[in-house]
Structure 1
């Protein structure tokens, strides 16, 4: 079974596929070692780790380079968040996606954000055309930011998400990702209307994975939350060290030998 087939099968579940998003090769390998069935990237974490602000600013060669490093150490399927594909030109987006396909990824997230839904439709169609011509496959998750970015007034968000979701699936998306969707009634209504696996992202007040599964959610992402916690912990420890220079607070980390062991067979 190919990585793409294996990844697609992980969406056929009762309890959602849980993806603690990685931000670089080291975090991806650590997450894999904890038993993750697949690894997803966080575009925000990717950007920050590479020294860029989040928000469609990453050069595509930086993304390709980091994905290459992750694929070198990973055995489970990898899905990559590519924001809007870093271009408004569908053909350019498709060429970029094929560079990632050549590295062996299993899936992508690609978003609409503030763009006209027709633009994401065109990108999805271009990606599917490029895949078909090359004889490749890919799990394409269409991220719709209606809830996250309040693209329409709150009473209209469910219906707008359903309308966009149907358009994106018709254009070639395998799944629908609605970050900031959290209300059980809204989830059930969208699941009933859009015939594609629904992906939600952790937010305060979101139900647990078991409950989300009963509502019809098939994929649960951590998004940038773990990266933000790592940055927060680094800030706290570095600030204390800079202030008083004490070694004791820094002596409780993951053992050097344990971290080394994660990369024992990585070839570098």
Structure 2
């Protein structure tokens, strides 16, 4: 399929209450295994991609290597590919947009783009992050899927849940106005709070499922449109090969 067809197909997979389930991959081989198993799309996870190359998470993996892996993954499968691009390897809207174009040229039809200050503390101010999203949208056009990630529930986990929810909803609405297509809220793991968040703003909601803590059916009932598994598949694969090698 051409880029436009893959991008349209990927966008159509995000349905509230009938979530796209992604088992995050880290290289071309794992992407092919997931696609051959019948997945309708594949998604990288930054932690796993970095670990597979011998790096820590948080943009320690050089951008050139991240783009190389993205290109290898996209070249190995026929299904749409979305890439966890962390903070875009830049701060300014212009620089982030330039890097996002390189990601699309590598073959991705979508990206995760987080509001955590990579290598720093806390989150980018809402206005600044919205400007970064708007720049990506302007550079890539309407087809590319921007999955805006907010780390409110990761960075503010000592605050009351109600306060974090207000912040997350405000960010989701600002990011939607800036051009985001979805909202990713890792760290939000309570089914009732997830349902509240899904109902409080309009973007398709992506949550991260670790292990079997939350059944997919329960997340679907809460209104989730996309489920990621983060580093879980990589950790399980490494555990399995380690166990096999232990003699």
User: What TM-score, normalized by structure 1, do the two folds share?
Assistant: 0.83
Out of 34, 37, 54, the residue aligned to residue 34 of structure 1 is 37
Structure 2 CA distance for aligned equivalents of residues 35 and 149 of structure 1:
35
Structure 1: where are the runs of 5+ without partners? Answer: 242-268
Which residue of structure 1 aligns with residue 236 of structure 2?
229
1:148 aligned counterpart, secondary structure: helix
Residue aligning to 2:137: 128
1:60 is aligned to 63
Q: Aligned with 1:140: secondary structure? A: strand
Q: 1:204 to 1:222 in 2, by over 3 A?
A: closer
CA distance in 2, matches of 1:170, 1:122: 10
In the superposition, relative to structure 1, how do residues 11 and 22 fare at CA in structure 2: closer, same or farther (>3 Å)? same
Stretch of structure 1 that moved more, 19-28 or 120-129? 120-129
Residues 1:175 and 2:182 aligned together: yes
Q: Which runs of 4+ in 1 moved over 4 A?
A: none
Deviations 1:53-93 (A, max 9, x none): 11121211111111111111110000000011111122111
In structure 2, the CA distance between the partners of 1:58 and 1:118, relative to structure 1 (3 Å rule), is farther
Q: Which residue of 2 aligns with 1:166?
A: 173
Aligned residues: 237
2:108 aligns to what SS in structure 1?
coil
Compute the TM-score of the two structures, normalised by the length of structure 2. 0.90
The CA distance in 1 between the partners of 2:175 and 2:213, in whole Å, is 25
Distance 1:149 1:30 in 2: 34
Shift of 1:13: 5.1
Where in structure 2 are the equivalents of 1:179-218 lying within 5 Å? 179-203=186-210, 206-218=213-225
What secondary structure is seen at the aligned counterpart in 2 of 1:220? strand
Shift of 1:234: 2.9
* Aligned equivalent of 1:79: 82
| Distance across 2 between alignment mates of 1:152 and 1:83 | 23
In the alignment, the residues of structure 2 paired with residue 49 and residue 205 of structure 1 have an alpha-carbon distance, to the nearest angstrom, of: 24
What RMSD, in angstroms, separates the aligned Cα atoms of the two structures? Answer: 1.7
Once residues 99 and 55 of structure 1 are traced to their aligned partners in structure 2, the CA distance between those partners, rounded to angstroms, is 19
Q: Rg: which structure is higher?
A: 1
- Separation of aligned partners in 2, 1:9 and 1:105: 16
Query: Distance between the aligned counterparts of 1:147 and 1:29, measured in 2?
Result: 32
- Corresponding residue of 1:118: 127
Q: Deviations over 1:147-176 (max 9, x none)?
A: 123366133111111111111111111000
Q: Is the 8 A contact 2:16 2:204 kept in 1?
A: no
Q: How does 1:132-171 map to 2 (within 5 A)?
A: 132=141, 137-150=143-156, 153-155=159-161, 156-171=163-178
The 8 Å contact of residues 182 and 205 in structure 1, kept in 2 or not, is answered as: no
Q: Distance in 2 between matches of 1:152 and 1:138?
A: 35
Farther-moved stretch of structure 1 (26-35 vs 175-184): 175-184
1:72 and 1:64 map into 2 onto residues whose CA distance is 12
Partner of 1:46: 49
